[in-house]
Amino acid sequence: MLQRELCSCRRRTRCVRGVPILRPRGRPVEPVISRNSVVDEALGIVDEEGIAALSMRSIAKRLGVQAPSLYNHFKGREDILDAVALRILEGLQARPLEDEPWQDWFAQAMLGYRRLLLAHPNAVPLMTRAPLAAYISDSTFQHAAEAMQSDGVPPELMLTIAEAAESLVLGWVLFSSNRSSPATPGPGPERKLLNDTNTMDEDERFEYACYALVNGFVMSLLFKGPRSSANSFRRR
């Protein structure tokens, strides 16, 4: 009887860093994982190795579990990618509109979003899965909408402004990340001339583009539409 107990204890004992640990009876216990821990590891893989390296197996390996255990929390890889995009957006600090022009608030929000994406360049293609509006509170939207409306921006144009701003950020970061790719052809003489005459760094150029976007909408309102504004400038 005593011999059997000793054999049972040996089978249930494992060592961790030289310290014997007694396993509980029954089915071996795997490390406990949570939805958050899965997303943490998935984001780590994307940041370090890229989206293509993310798989159920690669995540499970980092967590020290079997891949099927991940299905207790997610439907599959695509579901995890959605969660990674939302996790990144959690880092965006969308501050309420204060006593400032709405154009400044929009431009600063775009600058903040770009900084966030630059911290996770490999994940930028994922961000189309998580519209920026999903993580800006209704109260912040309301304050921005009220400021825009008081400045003469019609409500039917506000969605266009918001989506244009988000698209500019995503497109700019994607383009910038691929600009130095070996597959990118060298600039022609005209483009090289533009590069040589440019005096702004990347941050300054992007901020200029942000204000050009929001101020362009203001100008289109003054001229009652983008086409009429272009015609008005031609007449001048």
How confident is the model over 186-217, as pLDDT tens digits?
A: 667 777 777 778 888 999 999 999 999 999 98
Query: Could you give the C-alpha distances from 194 to 23, 70, 207, in angstroms and in order?
Result: 69, 51, 18
Tokens matching residue 73: 């929390």
Under DSSP, the state recorded for 72 is G
Question: Could you tell me if 152 and 101 are in contact, meaning their C-beta atoms sit under 8 angstroms apart?
Answer: no
Is the pTM higher than 0.85? The answer reads: no
93-235 CATH, one of 1.10.357.10, 3.40.640.10, 3.40.50.2000, 3.10.300.10: 1.10.357.10
Confidence at residue 113, expressed as pLDDT on a 0 to 100 scale:
92
Query: Could you give the C-alpha distances from 126 to 50, 51, 64, 210, in angstroms and in order?
Result: 11, 9, 26, 22
Residues near 107 by Cβ (< 8 Å), separated by ≥ 6?
207, 210, 211, 214
CA–CA gap between residue 23 and residue 13 (Å, rounded): 6
Architecture category of domain 35-88 in CATH: Orthogonal Bundle (1.10)
Confidence at residue 231, expressed as pLDDT on a 0 to 100 scale:
52
Confidence at residue 145, expressed as pLDDT on a 0 to 100 scale:
85
pLDDT at 16 over 60: no
pLDDT cut 90: percent of the chain above it = 41
Question: Could you tell me if 141 and 95 are in contact, meaning their C-beta atoms sit under 8 angstroms apart?
Answer: no
> Where do the domains of the chain lie?
35-88, 93-235
Quickly tell me which residue has 């967590």 as its tokens.
63
Where are the alpha helices (H) located in the chain, listed in sequence order? 2-11, 35-49, 56-63, 77-89, 102-118, 138-150, 155-178, 189-197, 202-222, 226-235
Average pLDDT, the chain: 80
- Helix/strand/coil (H/E/C) assignment for every residue in 145-185: HHHHHHCCCCHHHHHHHHHHHHHHHHHHHHHHHHCCCCCCC
Question: Could you tell me if 123 and 47 are in contact, meaning their C-beta atoms sit under 8 angstroms apart?
Answer: yes
Question: Could you tell me if 187 and 195 are in contact, meaning their C-beta atoms sit under 8 angstroms apart?
Answer: yes
For the segment 119-126, the average pLDDT, to the nearest whole number, is: 93
Tokens matching residue 138: 């209704």
C-beta neighbour count of 133 within 10 angstroms: 13
